[in-house]
Amino acid sequence: MLHQVEDVTAQVGTVRQLHDTWSREQVALANAGTERLRQVLERLSANIALLSGPEHRYTLINSEYERLFPGRPVLGHSIRGVIPEVEGQGFYELFDQVYQTGEPYNAPEVEAWANFVGDGTQQRRYYRLSFEPLRNAQSEVTEVSNFTVDITAQVEARRQVEALNQELHAAQVAAARQQALLQALFEQAPVALALFQDEELRVASANPPMAAIWGYPPSKW
């Protein structure tokens, strides 16, 4: 019995070359996409970070976020290690909550105290923040994205306006109270008093003793 043996070595080599070429192209495309995404994140005027695992270790930050904490190592470190001074302000617990429940957290205005300028003291800032869970192919939460925008200037400006409005209202209430007090003193004075206005000396007001002297009520003045 005769058997025909076909040499497939060349075909296998070709398949491997095609596979290797395809793999390199896919990696190149993925790297290009990642680089484009990184460039977009760098241009955003927001603080962006990606924190991985239950310890919330930084795996990605943009330049805006890096400027938040000058001189501190961030990548590869946990949020508790990078920003220990926010202990007790609820931020650690929010990251835990998002990671454990898979539910995002959004807040239009949050106050934060931290050493933002690197001088050892804490400064107050206000942020609009969004914490979003990121999942793997098995729908398990593996990371939490941190997207925050500094709204300190807007909040402080709004609060200044609110304070001025409160001062104006308080001044108006005080003026009205003083006016009522003066009117009461005017009405209760034991001597005849009258107020006149304009060049024709029209009667603006007169107390009861003056009305008694004139002999007619104030409604007829």
The Cα–Cα gap between 20 and 9 comes to 16
Q: Of 3.30.450.20, 3.30.70.330, 3.40.50.150, 1.20.58.60, which CATH number belongs to 44-150?
A: 3.30.450.20
List the structure tokens of 83.
Answer: 């920003």
Query: φ and ψ at 114, to 5 degrees?
Result: -160, 165
- What pLDDT was estimated at residue 29? 46
Contact status, residue 135 vs residue 104, Cβ threshold 8 Å? no
* Amino acid sitting at position 98: V
Beta-sheet pairing, 194-197 with 123-135: unpaired
- What pLDDT was estimated at residue 30? 44
- What pLDDT was estimated at residue 214? 79
- What pLDDT was estimated at residue 6? 54
Measured from the Cβ of residue 61, the count of other Cβ atoms closer than 10 Å reads 21
Beta-sheet pairing, 47-52 with 57-61: antiparallel
β-sheet bridge partners, residue 15: none
- Predicted TM-score of the model (pTM): 0.64
Contact status, residue 48 vs residue 144, Cβ threshold 8 Å? no
User: Could you list the mean pLDDT of each consecutive 10-residue stretch along the chain, which spans 221 residues?
Assistant: 52 56 53 54 77 96 90 94 95 97 96 91 94 94 95 92 86 86 80 80 81 71 56
Contact status, residue 51 vs residue 146, Cβ threshold 8 Å? yes
The residues spanned by each domain of the chain are 44-150, 152-187, 189-221
